[in-house]
Amino acid sequence: MRKLINFTIDKRLLLYLIIAFMFATIIGTLSHEYGHFFAAKLIGLDAKVHYAYVSYNCSDNFREFTAFDGLLLTMGGPLQTILTGIIGLCLLFANKRKILKMNKLDVKSWVYVFLSLFWLRQVANFAVWSIRSLISGKFSRGSDEIGLAMYFQLPEWSIIAATALLGLMVAVFVIFKFIPINQRFTFILSGLIGGVSGYYLWLESIGKLIMP
């Protein structure tokens, strides 16, 4: 176990990473919504980004809305999230030799890590969906991944579960491959604290005020 993780806490790094996770949660949410926004613009819709969703309007001369248009709108957010995560992974691998020699990551390497962990949104989506489904007693349909599964006539849980599993695998790989052992526990702890704090700060508090 000691070869995988050191349970010491770097208090200064913990504070910095908590703040970073809070901002990353907000940035990740907005960039996801901008994925929907740009998909809407591609189709020809008028769109506006809010704190956690995008509203759409059809102009007077807009053609008939098709099922494929709906697919593009739904795919825009998850595609942006996943592509950002892939870019982060590519940057980590491109700088692998340098990063693996570090005893403590520099700012640039932390940026690569946070970009790669955009994949964690898929894990969070699955967790929220599972909780809502358990509370209601039936599968919740309030997520992009469920909409995509329904479009492709797949089991409703299939895409959200598959992307969550991929996201979890990416997170575990990044944490135990690229983060130095003396910083791993601090990173994991900061992720739990900062991620939850960022979620409630933006989605339940100031986000509704800043971008209603």
Structural domain contains residue 141: yes
- What integer pLDDT is reported at residue 139 of this predicted model? 76
Structural domain contains residue 203: yes
For the entire predicted model, the pTM comes to: 0.94
pLDDT of 58 > 90? The answer is no
Structural domain contains residue 44: no
Per-residue pLDDT band at 104 (split at 50, 70, 90): very high
Tokens of 43: 């189709």
Which domain covers residue 100, as residue numbers? 13-34+77-210
Diameter over CA atoms, the chain: 64
67-94 and 158-178 helices cross at what angle (nearest 10)? 10
Report the percent of the chain where pLDDT is more than 70.
Answer: 99
- What integer pLDDT is reported at residue 132 of this predicted model? 85
Per-residue pLDDT band at 1 (split at 50, 70, 90): low
Rounded Cα gap, residues 76 and 32, in angstroms = 8
Report the percent of the chain where pLDDT is more than 90.
Answer: 86
Total tally of structural domains belonging to the chain = 1
Per-residue pLDDT band at 195 (split at 50, 70, 90): very high
For residues 51-72, give the mean pLDDT.
89
Structural domain contains residue 46: no
Task: State the average pLDDT for the chain.
Answer: 94
CB atoms within 10 A of CB 91: 18
> By C-alpha distance, which of 76, 71, 38, 36 is closest to 52?
36
pLDDT of 3 > 80? The answer is no
Structural domain contains residue 25: yes
Structural domain contains residue 60: no
Structural domain contains residue 199: yes
